Amino acid sequence: MLVGFNALYGGTHKGPVDYLLTPFSLSLTGQREVAAAYEGVLGVSFLVGAALVVWAFTRLDTELKIAAVAGGAFFIWWLVSAQVLRYLLPALPLLAVASAGAGAVLTTSGAVGRSLRWALAAPVMAGEIVIVAWFAGDNPLLAMTGAEPRAAYLERRLDYYSYYRLIHDSLPASAKIWLVDVRRDTYHLERPYVGRLPLRGLHVAEVDRVGALRPRRAAARAFGRDHPRADPSRHPVRLRAVALVDDRAPQTENLARLERLRSFLADGTRVIRADRQFALVELAPGPAQAPPVL
């Protein structure tokens, strides 16, 4: 599970060359809210600072060497774990202090001219421009000042929030919500829910078993019966990015998996709302003898 979680971030193909190129990828090609692209971009400031630290390491004071080594060790640990930019934040103050100290040592020792200051100042200013542009694009001040309703801001920023509003406005309070293959997207869901139940196993592990889909659908319809707050007749399902396609499998097998997913959601159900990314589906009540497990 840990390896599978870590593989989602920083790209799925991580060979020796990829690890060596990570500082450049993190600084130049990272993207906001994209797991494979570190969910953010660091900018080139620390890339320039790291070069300065390597250049001046033997001339640094003991305190600066400790900061550089500690920050570097943290970075290496981050490389072999989940490569999410926010997880690297504790190392950045150490690396910033070491980079500034290395620049000061090189300047005062006469190894370089005062123009070195611009080597650090220019990328820092460029990073500030990016931060301001992102902040202006999100524009949270409208909601903070009351110029934009909170619900409108959330719907603008969260692509799934319109589905949550639909759940809150049209479904009874006793409805049990089944969130399929989602992340921690439940902050604004004010309904009882069962989270992160994957459909992946249903179609991959049992794709060749005749009739395997029918008992699983019956189990899905009955999964709320052992929860007193659940209404067994209404089980909306929200779907997001179910990874069913296996590049190593034949095309016919992948098509069969996708067809079983379509059948699970569309046959004998009521699609409340769907688009290219999400689907809100209501499962009809299952038979009394349906197994109460999923």
Instruction: Return d(Cα 79, Cα 250) in angstroms, integer.
Output: 33
Confidence band, pLDDT 50/70/90 cuts, at residue 199: low
Residue 293 inside a domain? The answer is no
Mark whether 79 and 159 lie in a shared domain: no
Last residue of a domain, one of 84, 109, 138: 138
Last residue of a domain, one of 115, 138, 161: 138
Burial 44-83 (b: 16+ CB within 10 A, else e): bbbbbbbebbeebeeebeeebbebbeebbebbeebbeebb
* pLDDT (average), residues 37-66: 91
* pLDDT tens by residue, 211-240: 444 445 555 554 443 332 223 333 444 444
Interior angle at CA 130, CA 129 and CA 135, nearest 5:
100
**Who contacts 100 (Cβ-Cβ below 8 Å, separation ≥6)?**
49, 120
* pLDDT (average), residues 233-256: 62
Question: Around 4, how many Cα atoms within 13 Å sit in the side-chain half-sphere?
Answer: 2
Instruction: Return d(Cα 287, Cα 167) in angstroms, integer.
Output: 25
- Greater confidence (208 vs 115) lies with 115
Residue 294 inside a domain? The answer is no
Measure CA of the first residue to CA of the last residue in the chain; give whole Å.
20
Q: Is it the case that residue 247 has pLDDT exceeding 50?
A: yes
pLDDT at 220: 53
Mark whether 242 and 191 lie in a shared domain: yes
Last residue of a domain, one of 90, 109, 138: 138
Identify the weakest region by mean pLDDT among 28-32, 40-44, 170-174: 170-174
Range(s) of the domain holding residue 17:
2-138
The tokens for 64 are: 């600066």
Q: Is it the case that residue 148 has pLDDT exceeding 70?
A: yes
Q: Domain total for the chain? A: 2
Q: Is it the case that residue 9 has pLDDT exceeding 60?
A: yes
Mark whether 90 and 201 lie in a shared domain: no
- Alpha helix ranges (H) inside 82-186: 92-108, 116-138, 141-144, 150-157, 161-170
Give the three-class secondary structure for 194. Answer: strand
Identify the weakest region by mean pLDDT among 30-34, 110-114, 157-161: 110-114
* pLDDT (average), residues 99-125: 83
Question: Does residue 187 contact residue 245 with C-beta atoms inside 8 Å?
Answer: no
pLDDT at 65: 95
Q: Is it the case that residue 242 has pLDDT exceeding 60?
A: no
Torsion angle (degrees, nearest 10) of CA 125, 128, 134, 138? -140
Instruction: Return d(Cα 243, Cα 249) in angstroms, integer.
Output: 13
Q: Is it the case that residue 201 has pLDDT exceeding 60?
A: no
Residue 41 inside a domain? The answer is yes
Question: What residues pair up with 179 in beta bridges, in sequence order?
Answer: 238
